[in-house]
Amino acid sequence: MINDNNHEDILVSQIDTGVLTITLNRPKFYNALRNNALKEIADVLTSAEKDNNIKVIIITGGEKVFAAGADIKEMNQLNVVGLLNDNRPVFWNKIANCSKPIIAVVNGFALGAGCELMMHCDIVIAGDNAQIGQPEINLGIIPGAGGTQRLLRTVGKSMAMQMVLSGEFINAEQAKNFGLVSEITLPELSYHRALKLAKVIANKSPIAVRLAKESLLYAYESTLAAGLAAERKAFILLAATDDRTEGITAFIEKRQPIFKGQ
Ligand code: HXC
């Protein structure tokens, strides 16, 4: 069971059909992401991949804090060999490779690994209390889970340099202006907004959603020509699905489509 809540660092719930919610649950430590938290998230996502009833995943830390970074005390125990053998990158890869859409609901601090977790998600809804940053430089280190790469690709060179080199936080408005966040709400409304959006996506064809996500993320990895070719192949592949026939037929018959993921 995915939502058996047999977890130490997260809570998992499936309130609505099709939407699984992962809530980071170490509020005393500002949801600092120790290895176990990432392992639990990765494990839940791996199970969610196999469950056809789950269409969209929401990751939140609640209304006060998203995550204040890697657990600094845990990180302090690892020397260079410990970091070399650390399985954290395996967990990050599982999160990055999740084929289903992930919506982050970000309130309060999203710092260091918290900001990196946010950037692993596909859509970010932020509360107006969000404070986002990569403050690793204050610890004499640098981001280690995509914080230099994903941040620069999203906000551009100058802002990425400013955030990573100074460690200063940006607010929700700035994050939205720089494309890190798609919408800002009141903190108490952020989860509801994400849930509404998740339900909209959950009603689409899951195959089209999967290939759309894959094509969009390909833009990070490839040249424009390679990205366009990959998009075209995915577009053509969808012609073999019942969902495409249903979607187009429903439009012509002026009714709502019923997608079955076939
Ligand atoms: C472990 C943390 C923590 C963290 C907060 N806490 N952040 N514990 N790791 N990243 C704990 C504090 O020790 C404290 O516990 C409690 O949470 C509340 O924090 P306070 O500092 O008392 O709260 P406040 O004064 O409100 O300040 C909030 C804060 C500050 C600005 C978020 O806690 C802070 O600067 N935290 C560290 C942020 C950071 O540097 N993140 C990057 C981490 S490195 P106690 O028990 O003392 O009360 C990283 C590397 C990624 O993420 C690399 C990937 C491999």
Q: Domain ranges for the chain, please list them.
A: 10-202, 206-252
Compute how many other C-beta atoms are within 10 angstroms of the C-beta atom of residue 176.
Answer: 18
Q: How far is ligand 1, taken at its centre, from the CA of residue 171, in Å?
A: 18
Stretch 23-31: mean pLDDT = 97
What is the percent of the chain where pLDDT is above 90? 96
What is the percent of the chain where pLDDT is above 70? 98
| Cα 45 to Cα 50: distance, rounded to the nearest angstrom | 9
Sign of CA pseudo-dihedral 238, 204, 191, 183: positive
Q: Where are the beta strands (DSSP E) in 96-224?
A: 102-106, 109-111, 123-127, 131-133, 170-171, 183-185
Q: How confident is the model at residue 3 (pLDDT cuts 50, 70, 90)?
A: low
What SS3 class is residue 1? coil
Compute how many other C-beta atoms are within 10 angstroms of the C-beta atom of residue 239.
Answer: 8
Q: Is ligand 1 within 6 A of the CB of residue 73?
A: yes
First to last CA, the chain: 24
Structure tokens that stand for 104 in this block: 């982050």
Type of residue numbered 116:
E
Q: Tell me: the pLDDT tens digits for 33-57?
A: 999 999 999 999 999 999 999 999 9
Give the residue, by CA position, lying nearest to ligand 1 atom 30: 68
Give the residue, by CA position, lying nearest to ligand 1 atom 38: 68
Type of residue numbered 132:
I
Ligand 1 atom closest to the Cα of residue 29 is 17
238 DSSP 8-state letter: G
So what's the pLDDT on residue 17?
A: 81
Report angle CA 161, 166, 172 to the nearest 5 degrees: 80
Mutate to test the pocket of ligand 1, among 30, 88, 119, 164 (most ligand atoms within 8 A of CB): 30
Nearest Cα to 98, choosing from 134, 147, 40, 49? 49
Q: How far is ligand 1, taken at its centre, from the CA of residue 6, in Å?
A: 25
Note the pTM of the prediction, 2 decimals.
0.96
The whole-chain average pLDDT of the chain stands at 96
Q: Is ligand 1 within 6 A of the CB of residue 9?
A: no
Q: How far is ligand 1, taken at its centre, from the CA of residue 67, in Å?
A: 9
CA distances from 29 to 23, 67, 239 (A): 14, 9, 49
Are 151 and 166 in contact by the 8 Å Cβ rule? The answer is no
CATH number of 206-252: 1.10.12
Q: Tell me: the pLDDT tens digits for 100-158?
A: 999 999 999 999 999 999 999 999 999 999 999 999 999 999 999 999 999 999 999 99
Q: How confident is the model at residue 15 (pLDDT cuts 50, 70, 90)?
A: confident
Q: Which fold has domain 10-202?
A: 2-enoyl-CoA Hydratase; Chain A, domain 1 (3.90.226)
Ligand 1 atom closest to the Cα of residue 111 is 41
Are 24 and 64 in contact by the 8 Å Cβ rule? The answer is no
Q: Is ligand 1 within 6 A of the CB of residue 32?
A: yes
| Cα 219 to Cα 225: distance, rounded to the nearest angstrom | 10
Are 40 and 7 in contact by the 8 Å Cβ rule? The answer is yes
Give the residue, by CA position, lying nearest to ligand 1 atom 36: 68
Q: Is ligand 1 within 6 A of the CB of residue 132?
A: no
